[in-house]
Amino acid sequence: MTNQASFSARLTSAITSRKTPACVGLDPKPGMLPPIFREAAAKSPADLAAIFETFCREVIDAVAGLVPIVKPQAACFESLGPDGMLALAGVINHAHAKGLLVLADTKRGDIGSTAEAYAAGWLWGSWGADAMTVNPYLGLDSLEPFVQACEEHKAGMFVLVKTSNPGSRDFQDLEIEGTTLYGHVAKGVEALAERTAGSERYGAVGAVVGATWPKQLDEMRAAMPHSWILVPGFGRQGGRASDVRAAFHEDGLGAIVVSARDIIYAHAREEINGGLGEKEWQTAVERATHDMIDRLAADTPAAALR
C-alpha cells in the first residue's frame, strides 16, 4: 500500500464523506444475476468470469457515489479458477479507480510463512486490497503476520468473532473459563486494535460480528472499543437496522454494515424494481442502496453522519 494514512483514517474519512457506514457486498452468482446476463453466464468458466467482472463493475458504477467501501467475496471468483481470479483483480482495480475502499472477504488463516504469504498477497501485493477478513481459530500467533502487514502497509483486517450463521453457536458460544469462545477472541482482537491504534481512535484490527446477533453486538461493542466492527447479515439474512444499532458509537462511527444480495440483486425485489425494465437493473441497485442508507440513518447512530 502506498497510502500515507492508516486504513482506519481512510475508512473514517470515506464514511464521513459519504455520510453512511453502508458497505455493498459483491457476491456474484450465476442463477441470481439480472436477466440480461444470464444467457452468457451459462457458458464456460472464462465467459462466466467475464460476466462476473462486468456485473460487479457496473454495480460499482451504480454505488460509487453513495457508499464508502465494497466487499468482494473471493470464493465467488475462486470457484471459476484462474479466470475468476483475474476477474476479481479487475473488480478490485475498478473499485479503487472509482474512489472506493476494498475489503476482500477472504477469511484466510494459517501459521508462520503461509500467513505471511496470504497477508502479502492480499494487503500489499498483487491484490492490493485495503483490508481483508481473517479466521483466528489457529490462535493469536496466526494473526500476527496479518497484523504486521497492516502496520507496515497501512492496511486493515477484520477477525471473525461472532459470525452471522446460525451454526456459529456450535463452537463460538461455548463457555471456557466463564467466558464464551467468541468473548475470548474479542479480547484478543481488542488488544491488537489498541496496539495498532496509536494516537487514533480505532486500530487496524477490527472484528466481524453478525447482524443476526443484536445482543452480542452490544456486548462486543463494549468489549472492543478500539475496533471497527464489520456487520454482515443485514437484509436477506435477517438483520434489520435496529438490530445493528449497538455496533456503533454515538457519533455514527465504529461499524460497517454489509448488504450484498438485497442490493446487487435488487432487480428481483418487487418493491424496489417496480416499473423498471431489464436494462434498468442498475437503477434498482441505486434504489436499494438508498433504501439501506436511509434505514441505517433512521434506526442507528449513523444518523449523526448526516
Q: Any idea which residues carry the catalytic annotation? A: 107
- CA–CA gap between residue 138 and residue 50 (Å, rounded): 35
Type of residue numbered 22: A
| Number of other residues whose CB lies within 10 A of the CB of residue 169 | 13
H or E element at residue 31: none
- CA–CA gap between residue 33 and residue 38 (Å, rounded): 6
Helix, strand, or coil (residue 271): helix
Do the bridges between strand 255-259 and strand 229-231 make them parallel or antiparallel, or are there none, so unpaired? parallel
> Measured between alpha carbons, how far is residue 78 from residues 41, 156, 158, 181, 303 in Å?
16, 22, 20, 30, 37
For the chain, give the number of residues. 306
Q: Which residues pair with 101 in a beta bridge?
A: 69
